[in-house]
Amino acid sequence: MSEVNDSAEQQAIRRQAQQWVVRLASHAADSDDALAFRRWCERSREHASAFVQARAVWQDLRPAAQGLQRAEAARAVRPGRRAFLGAALAGTAGWLVLRPPLGLWPAATDLAADLRTGTGEQREWVTAEGVVVQLNTRTRMDLRGTEGGVARLELLEGEAEIRTDLDGAAPAVQLRVGDGVVSAQRARFNVRFIDGEVCVTCLAGRVDVRRGEAGSTAVDVDRQLVYARARPAVARPADATAVSAWRRRQLVFDQTPLAEVVAEVNRYRPGKLILTDAAVGRKRVQASFSIDRLDDVIALVREVYGLDVTALPGGIVLLGSA
């Protein structure tokens, strides 16, 4: 009886996953759908996996749909339902494969990670060895098991603060991020991996970063190492208070271009802030904001920079010159 019930439940999850694929590919989904979809995926790993599988089937339909579309066009007949279906499948499958519009809901790759956080979400996770991992907003991380008593992790995207015991028998950790591996024992460090660039900041103790044949680079307290694929690493001083401000649910900007401020705020805020004036985006910002009151950023650009603010459904806000 249990096996039958499990099978029925799995079938129900698959049907729901297929419905979500169609809904999200319809261009009619809104922010409420995005929230409901995220909650549905977080019910269990089976839910997330079912969506990934359903979306893969939808993707496989794309070549057939494109072939149907070309065949109808070759006949030079008035497009009918079959031609319309071919165009719809070809278009929406391609759109869904790339990424959801404006990041209003998670991409399928996000759902495959072992650990993940949504927009504005922060969470803590502790390995079996006792390594403490704090995940910031929109972060994805995979667990790579234990080797020789060392916890092995991989940061796929986002930001995390990792702490080993600073006293006593401290566990060791190896974190793969980008084309490098960060190793630490008796340390606390912050790792950020956004748009292909990695920034490793040592907050306590010392960490080592190894990249291919380049050897290992030691990063001491209040120092950070920045690197990206095919680019040499750059070591520089770090403002530890600003780097770890997100742990206090604060964002701190020190002479930061407004365009970068908006991009960072978009990682924490549902919807999307969109700057429509590139010149204004180059203006420098000296400010701090509470993660729980990010609409203060909208007030800043309106009052300090005199920008027009246009609010659209789904939390989308256009910021442009008056």
Q: What are the pLDDT digits (tens) for 166-215?
A: 666 668 899 999 999 999 988 999 999 999 999 999 999 999 999 987 68
Average the pLDDT over 21-47 and give the result.
71
SS3 156: strand
Q: At what angle do helices 2-24 and 31-41 cross, to 10 degrees?
A: 150
Q: What is the pLDDT of residue 97?
A: 42
Residue 103, token pair as written in the block:
């990041």
Residue among 218, 283, 233 nearest 257 (CA): 283
Instruction: Share the mean pLDDT of the chain.
Output: 80
| Domain 115-243 = CATH 2.60.120.1440 | yes
Give 209's contacts (C-beta < 8 A, 6+ positions apart). Answer: 180, 181, 182, 183, 200, 216, 217, 219, 225, 227, 233
CATH of 249-321, one of 3.40.50.970, 3.55.50.30, 3.40.50.2300, 3.40.50.2020: 3.55.50.30
Write down the pLDDT at residue 257.
Answer: 95
The per-residue pLDDT for 80 is 46
User: What's the mean pLDDT in 120-148?
Assistant: 91
pLDDT at 88 over 60: no
Give me the pLDDT at residue 28, please.
59
pLDDT in the model for residue 48: 75
What whole-number distance in Å separates Cα of residue 57 and Cα of residue 65?
12
What value does the CA radius of gyration of the chain take, rounded to a whole number of Å? Answer: 23
Distance (Å, rounded) from C-alpha 202 to C-alpha 224? Answer: 6
Give percent above pLDDT 90 in the chain.
43
Per-domain boundaries in the chain = 2-111, 115-243, 249-321
Residue 104 has pLDDT above 90, yes or no: no
DSSP 8-state code for residue 167: S
Residue 261 has pLDDT above 90, yes or no: yes
pTM over 0.75: no
What letter would DSSP give residue 168?
S
Question: Cα–Cα–Cα angle for 258, 249, 160, nearest 5°?
Answer: 90
Whether residue 7 has pLDDT greater than 80: no
